[in-house]
């Protein structure tokens, strides 16, 4: 291990092996499945798996493992597994079906995803994702997922940002909802069959690691407050992303990092924590009261045109009165090949640039206007209002409800918002973390999207992991079991349980002055300001200091009313914010160490002459996997490595794809 | 009502009468609160967030209420607002905005009321009965890996559209809360119609409806008397004719000895 670098982290050994079979990517997944050990159907019910989260990745895995005959315990914090936040995904799901005969293939989907991720994802995993994508559509259709269809009765497709083929399957603007309901119904079918035990309104608060293996979780029953121990042969985290570290994001109110963070503290490496997706088409902030941001599907960019006034003095005018000649359709101008369909990171950053130049529109928020126009006037003229309504009606209605404006008459206003986190727990080819027996799927892991995720790829990854990848790889692990029975009195179990009880007690005993939300908002402001769309070394160092100060104040001054033995939403939030306050620092450290621009991570010090992101493959062609730094850092001992996270690099190797600087011009 | 200095003339002062109930065995009561300077751009739940921050500052325990996605799709939120499920607009509680109210209004906020949705605390209810209805048959039995090629079974657009419309149900329970009989027929009819319109849903069609209806009755939901209140309250506009479809399927199933 090295000395402190930048005063905040150290570097350890490289990750030598991702456990991908040593054959060309095209045959890799077949080989892995063939090599994975089998479990006799009669033995499966003796093997138990805990799955945390019931979104696409968790729900699909629970249903599939239940069907196979394993004993599954499924957990969600919501009142029903059907509410997991996958439900809010709007636009669609990619699959290499090539139904449009427009040149699509597994290889092209793979290529687009790696390129879209700015060459920071792991080639082997992405190829597999593209390979199983077509099976997902078959599975969902068989479950009764009502995808959009053409008049002939066959499935329809549309195109999405960052690609030039139509491979996206969709169910109006509710694709995530329909896919999740499919997985949910499959899951409930297994609950009825007795293979899946369902624990709703339960939150995982600690991971149990016994004899070097993940063997269970400590969960809190959110209704009774009871702290419960659940043991199993393996644990799967499918607990989603951590965008709520920014307070304002398109995530659900309850989306959190706690399951992931607790596992990280127990030894699971955290991969690329700073890779955050800031989505370009969200409804702008309207005031201080704002509790969350609402995204509108980027499918709107298929027909809507994005612009700002050329002249600053026009920014306050009714947009309909601004003549064509005075409008700057900046994406079409800068990126003529892709126009309004450039990848999300680019669309977001250019919107920010326009607003920073003083050409933003809408109300002043802080010092400037944070909004650009998304205009459907041309589309309505070309296709007619009815056709536009049919395609985007629910999105237009949502916009009207939230803003009180009619988007059929006046251009919508949009602004980027935190939407998805590409980072997550580090996993190998089998989706296993650095803790044996702990698997991580969907948004909760880091593996498939590199530094930027393409539209309609999150649903694809969640379901690929849940239905097809994890059930095959975890089988190989479970075949080594059942592992020795762990007793509830085992030291590791007691320690985990006591830690949860103590932490709860400690939170309630602080009885300070400030609400949990006030800390969360302040953390969010720090993250957005210094670790948002544009990052600098000085800003990140400042943010790390600010977060440390805020975290100390939280543990001194947070005010949580009510008790631990009842439904207590403030207490739930406090535990989540406490973990965000630790994660935020790691995100800033990761962003600080990566002195290049790539995908969603734009470092101001690393750009081309015309302001585009500049990657440094010679220095940063790796995954940053962070090991939790044990101990408390002590401000009185500036050189001490206590509490400093340890960086482990996994070199990225591209054999099937040629490494290039991305260009969408 | 206390008068306040408003930061914007469009902002509102409101009186709220909110159901407080410590736990399942507590009797519960309506408690009156005043909030001021509420922006019309706030959502209804953001207004409650503001109230909860005030309560927390005063040392009173915040009001418990459910919400998650806050974009109208997860179905977690649901409040009875002055007698209307999800309030005066056709939308979810989280998508209801304060511009639907006016300065000086008194608003009564209660939980869903139904025997099959017992109250947990304040405005939070237990809707697991909905999950058990789905467990009874609200699915198509197809194991992972055994699906045929997706385009093997074309679906006429009209049927696909009706299946989609029914599948839009978010399982919030507003239909039950609005129904004088606390019946869940709209919720169930939506699922039976969604799966029954599709070729994939045919093999289990008759067993599905019998099993789901039996679970519905077992959970303590009431019978349907066709008042239509469910469909009016439904934030997703699920039409009442899904109940006719359900009844028709149930009759067919019974004739077949289902």
| CATH at B26 | 3.10.20.30
| Strand ranges of the sheet holding A646-651, from the earlier edge strand across to the other edge | A10-11, A646-651, A622-627, A270-271, A424-425
User: Is residue B149 less than 8 Å (CB to CB) from chain A?
Assistant: yes
Query: Do B177 and B110 belong to one domain?
Result: no
Residues B79 and B172 occupy one common structural domain: no
Distance from CA of A390 to the nearest CA of B (A): 12
Query: With an 8 Å Cβ cutoff, are A80 and B95 in contact?
Result: no
Question: What is the helix (H) or strand (E) element at residue B243, kind and residue range?
Answer: helix B241-255
Q: What is the DSSP string of A325-342?
A: GGEE-HHHHH-TTTGGGS
pLDDT of residue B3: 55
pLDDT in tens, chain B (258 residues): 445 688 899 999 999 999 999 999 999 999 999 999 999 999 999 999 999 999 999 999 999 999 999 999 999 999 999 999 999 999 999 999 999 999 999 999 999 999 999 999 999 999 999 999 999 999 999 999 999 999 999 999 999 999 999 999 999 999 999 999 999 999 999 999 999 999 999 999 999 999 999 999 999 999 999 999 999 999 999 999 999 999 999 999 999 875
Q: What is the pLDDT of residue A345?
A: 85
Q: Is the pLDDT of residue A406 over 90?
A: yes
Tell me: the pLDDT tens digits for A129-160?
Answer: 999 999 999 999 999 999 999 999 999 998 87
Tell whether B98 and B132 lie within a shared domain. no
pLDDT greater than 80 at residue A633: no
Inside any domain, residue A528:
yes
Considering only residues 22 to 81 of chain A, which have any Cβ-Cβ distance to chain B shorter than 8 Å? 60, 63-64, 67, 78-81
Same domain for B171 and B71, yes or no, is no
Nearest CA in chain A to B70: A252
Buried b (16+ CB within 10 A) or exposed e, A265-296: bbbbbbbbbbbbbbbbbbbbbbeebbbbbbbb
Query: Do residues B215 and B135 share a domain?
Result: yes
- Integer Cα distance of A635 and A633 in angstroms: 7
**Residue B245 C-alpha, separation from nearest chain A C-alpha, in angstroms:** 17
**How do residues A78-104 score in pLDDT, each as one tens digit?**
999 999 999 999 889 999 999 999 999
Cα gap A597→A118, rounded to integer Å: 10
Q: What is the tally of structural domains in chain A?
A: 2
Shared-domain flag, residues B207 and B239: yes
What mean pLDDT do residues A206-230 have?
Answer: 98
Q: Quick one: B170 and B107 in the same domain?
A: no
Same domain, A414 and A496: no
CA closest to B38 among chain A residues: A289
A585 in a domain, yes or no? yes
Structural domain contains residue A55: no
**What's the complex ipTM?**
0.97
Q: Which domain holds residue B178?
A: 127-140+155-255
Show Cβ contacts of residue A517 under 8 Å, excluding neighbours closer than 6 positions: A573, B49, B53
Percent of chain A exceeding pLDDT 70 equals 100
Kindly tell me if the per-residue pLDDT of A344 is higher than 90.
no
Which residues in chain B touch residue A171, judged by CB atoms under 8 angstroms apart? 164, 167
Interface test with B, best of A173, A192, A282, A516 (most B CBs within 10 A): A192
DSSP, collapsed to helix, strand or coil, labels residue A511 as coil
Q: Are residues B93 and B134 in the same domain?
A: no
Q: What is the pLDDT of residue A636?
A: 76
Q: Is residue A438 part of a domain?
A: no
Residue A482, preceding peptide bond in cis (omega within 30° of 0):
yes
Phi-psi region of A196 (alpha: psi -120 to 50; beta: other; left: phi over 0): beta
Residue B5 lies in a domain: no
- The answer as to whether A552 is a domain residue is yes
Residues B95 and B185 in one domain: no
What pLDDT score was predicted for residue B4? 60
Q: Which residues of A touch B72 (CB under 8 A)?
A: 398, 401
> Can you read off the two tokens belonging to residue A488?
């509830």
The domain that holds A367 is classified in CATH as: 3.90.700.10
Element of type H or E holding A230: strand A227-231
Q: Which of A566, A587, A548 is nearest to A260 (CA)?
A: A587
To the nearest 10 degrees (0 to 180), the angle between helices A537-557 and A491-510 is 80
Q: Of residues A344, A370, A453, A551, which has the active-site annotation?
A: A344
Number of H helices, E strands in chain B: 8, 7
Q: How far apart are CA A382 and CA A299, in angstroms?
A: 17
Instruction: Tell me, yes or no, whether B51 and B112 share the same domain.
Output: yes
Closest Cα in chain A, distance from residue B256 (Å):
24
Q: Which of B61, B71, B156 sits opposite A88 (nearest CB)?
A: B71
In a domain? residue B149: no
A364: domain range?
Answer: 279-418
Work out how many domains chain B is built from and give that number. 2
Residue of A630 and B152 predicted with greater confidence: B152
pLDDT at B115: 97
Chain B nearest CA to A191, separation (Å): 7
pLDDT reading at A664 higher than 80:
no
Q: Are B208 and B215 in contact (CB under 8 A)?
A: no
- State the CATH number of the domain containing residue A562: 1.20.58.100
A344 is catalytic: yes
**Within a domain: A544:** yes
Contact B150 A141 (CB under 8 A): yes
Tell me: the pLDDT tens digits for A31-46? Answer: 999 999 999 999 999 9
Please report whether residue B172 resides in a domain.
yes
Helix, strand, coil shares of chain A, percent, nearest 5, are 40, 15, 40
User: Kind of pairing, strands A234-237 and A48-52?
Assistant: parallel
What integer pLDDT is reported at residue A28 of this predicted model?
98
Answer with the one of A380, A403, A418 that is the final residue of a domain.
A418
Flag whether A60 is in a domain: no
Domain co-membership, B100 together with B211: no
* Domain CATH code at residue B186: 1.10.1060.10
A507 shares its domain with A392 = no
Of A275, A266, A121, A270, nearest to A626 by C-alpha is A270
| Residue B95 and residue B152 in contact, taking contact as beta carbons nearer than 8 Å | no
Whether B201 and chain A come into contact, CB under 8 Å, resolves to yes
Task: Report pLDDT for B218.
Answer: 98
Angle CA B9–B11–B13, to nearest 5: 120
Indicate whether A495 and A626 sit together in one domain.
yes
Interface of A with B in 77-106 (CB under 8 A): 78-85, 87-88, 97, 99
Verify that B73 and B164 share a domain, yes or no: no
A240-270: per-residue pLDDT in tens?
999 999 999 999 999 999 999 999 999 999 9
Q: For residue range A354-389, what is the model confidence (pLDDT) as tens digits?
A: 998 999 999 887 778 989 999 999 999 999 999 999
Using CA coordinates, name the residue in chain B closest to A154.
Answer: B154
- Helix or strand or coil: residue A2? coil
Q: Which of B67, B63, B112 is nearest to B93 (CA)?
A: B67
Query: Residue A642: which pLDDT band, with cuts at 50, 70 and 90?
Result: confident
A291-331, pLDDT tens digit by residue?
999 998 888 998 999 999 999 999 999 999 999 999 999 99
Of the three residues A395, A418, A441, the one that is the final residue of a domain is A418
């Amino acid at each position: 291990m090295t000395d402190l670098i930048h005063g905040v982290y150290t570097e350890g050994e490289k990750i030598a092996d991702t456990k991908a079979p040593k054959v060309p990517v095209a045959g890799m997944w077949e080989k892995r499945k063939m090599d994975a050990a089998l479990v006799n159907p009669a033995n499966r019910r003796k093997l138990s798996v805990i799955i945390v989260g019931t979104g696409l990745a968790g729900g699909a895995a629970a249903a599939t493992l239940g069907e196979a005959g394993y004993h599954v315990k499924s957990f969600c914090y919501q009142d029903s597994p059907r509410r997991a936040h996958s439900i809010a995904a709007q636009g669609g799901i990619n699959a290499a079906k090539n139904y449009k005969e427009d040149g699509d293939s597994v290889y092209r989907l793979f290529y687009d995803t790696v390129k879209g991720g700015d060459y920071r994802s792991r080639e082997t995993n992405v190829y597999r994702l593209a390979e199983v994508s077509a099976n997902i559509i078959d599975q969902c259709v068989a479950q009764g997922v009502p995808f959009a269809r053409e008049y002939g009765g066959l499935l329809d497709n549309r195109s999405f940002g960052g690609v030039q083929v139509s491979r996206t399957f969709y169910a109006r603007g509710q694709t995530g909802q329909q896919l999740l309901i499919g997985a949910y119904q499959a899951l409930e079918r297994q609950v009825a069959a007795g293979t899946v035990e369902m624990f709703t309104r339960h939150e995982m608060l600690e991971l149990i690691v016994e004899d070097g293996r993940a063997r269970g979780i400590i969960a809190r029953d959110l209704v009774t407050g009871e702290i419960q121990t659940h043991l199993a042969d393996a644990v799967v985290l499918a607990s989603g992303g951590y965008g709520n570290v920014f307070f304002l994001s398109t995530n659900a109110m309850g989306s959190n990092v706690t399951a992931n963070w607790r596992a990280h503290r127990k030894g699971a490496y955290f991969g690329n924590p700073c890779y955050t997706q800031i989505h370009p088409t969200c409804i702008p902030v309207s005031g201080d009261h704002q509790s969350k941001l609402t995204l509108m599907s980027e499918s709107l960019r298929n027909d809507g045109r994005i612009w700002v006034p050329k002249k600053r003095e026009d920014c306050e005018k009714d947009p309909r009165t601004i003549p064509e000649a005075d409008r700057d359709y900046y994406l079409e101008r800068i990126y003529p090949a892709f126009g309004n369909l450039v990848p999300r990171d680019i669309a977001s950053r250019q919107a920010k640039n326009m607003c920073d130049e003083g050409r933003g529109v809408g109300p002043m928020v802080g010092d400037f206007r944070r909004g650009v126009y998304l205009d459907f006037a041309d589309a309505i003229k070309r296709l007619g209002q009815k056709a536009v309504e049919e395609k985007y009606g629910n999105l237009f209605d949502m916009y009207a409800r939230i803003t009180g404006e009619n988007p059929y008459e006046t251009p919508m206003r949009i602004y980027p918002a935190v939407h998805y986190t590409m980072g997550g727990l580090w996993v190998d080819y089998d989706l296993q973390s650095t803790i044996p027996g702990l698997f991580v799927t969907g948004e909760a892991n880091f593996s498939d999207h590199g530094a930027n995720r393409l539209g309609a790829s999150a649903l694809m990854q969640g379901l690929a992991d849940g239905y097809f990848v994890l059930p095959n790889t975890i089988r190989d692990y479970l075949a080594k079991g059942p592992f020795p029975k762990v007793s509830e009195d085992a030291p590791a179990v007691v320690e985990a349980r006591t830690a949860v009880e103590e932490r709860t007690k400690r939170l309630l005993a602080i009885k300070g002055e400030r609400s949990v939300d006030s800390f969360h908002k302040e953390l969010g402001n720090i993250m957005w300001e210094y670790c948002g769309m544009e990052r600098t070394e000085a800003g990140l160092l400042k943010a790390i200091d600010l977060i440390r100060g805020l975290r100390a104040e939280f543990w001194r001054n947070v005010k949580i009313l009510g008790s631990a033995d009842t439904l207590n939403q403030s207490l739930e939030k406090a535990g989540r914010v406490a973990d965000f306050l630790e994660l935020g620092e790691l995100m800033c450290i990761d962003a600080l160490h990566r002195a290049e621009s790539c995908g969603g991570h734009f470092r101001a010090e690393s750009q081309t002459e015309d302001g585009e992101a500049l990657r440094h493959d010679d220095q940063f062609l790796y995954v940053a996997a962070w090991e939790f730094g044990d101990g408390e850092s002590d401000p009185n001992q500036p050189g001490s490595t206590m509490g400093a996270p340890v960086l482990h690099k996994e070199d990225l190797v591209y054999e099937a794809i040629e490494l290039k600087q991305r260009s969408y011009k | 009502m206390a008068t306040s200095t408003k930061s914007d003339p469009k902002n509102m002062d409101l009186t709220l009468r909110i159901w407080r109930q410590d736990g399942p065995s507590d009797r519960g009561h309506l408690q009156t609160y005043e909030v001021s300077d509420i922006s019309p751009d706030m959502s209804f739940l953001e207004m409650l967030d503001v109230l909860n921050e005030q309560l927390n500052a005063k040392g009173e325990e915040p009001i418990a209420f459910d919400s998650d996605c806050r974009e109208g799709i997860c179905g977690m939120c649901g409040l009875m607002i002055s007698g209307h499920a999800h309030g005066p607009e056709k939308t979810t509680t989280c998508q209801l905005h304060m511009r639907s109210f006016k300065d000086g209004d008194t608003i009564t906020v209660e939980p869903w009321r139904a025997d099959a949705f017992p109250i947990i605390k304040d405005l939070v209810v237990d809707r697991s009965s909905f999950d058990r209805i789905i467990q009874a048959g609200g699915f198509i039995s197809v194991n992972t890996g055994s699906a045929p090629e997706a385009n093997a079974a074309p679906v006429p657009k009209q049927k696909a559209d009706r299946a989609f419309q029914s599948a839009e149900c978010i399982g919030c329970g507003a239909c039950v809360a609005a129904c004088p009989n606390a019946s869940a027929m709209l919720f169930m009819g939506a699922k039976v119609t969604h799966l029954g319109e599709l070729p994939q849903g045919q093999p289990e069609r008759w067993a599905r409806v019998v099993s789901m209806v039996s679970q519905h009755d077992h959970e303590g939901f009431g019978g349907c008397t066709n008042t239509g209140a469910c469909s009016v309250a439904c934030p997703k506009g699920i039409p009442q004719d899904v109940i006719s479809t359900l009844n028709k399927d149930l009759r067919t199933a019974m004739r077949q000895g289902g």
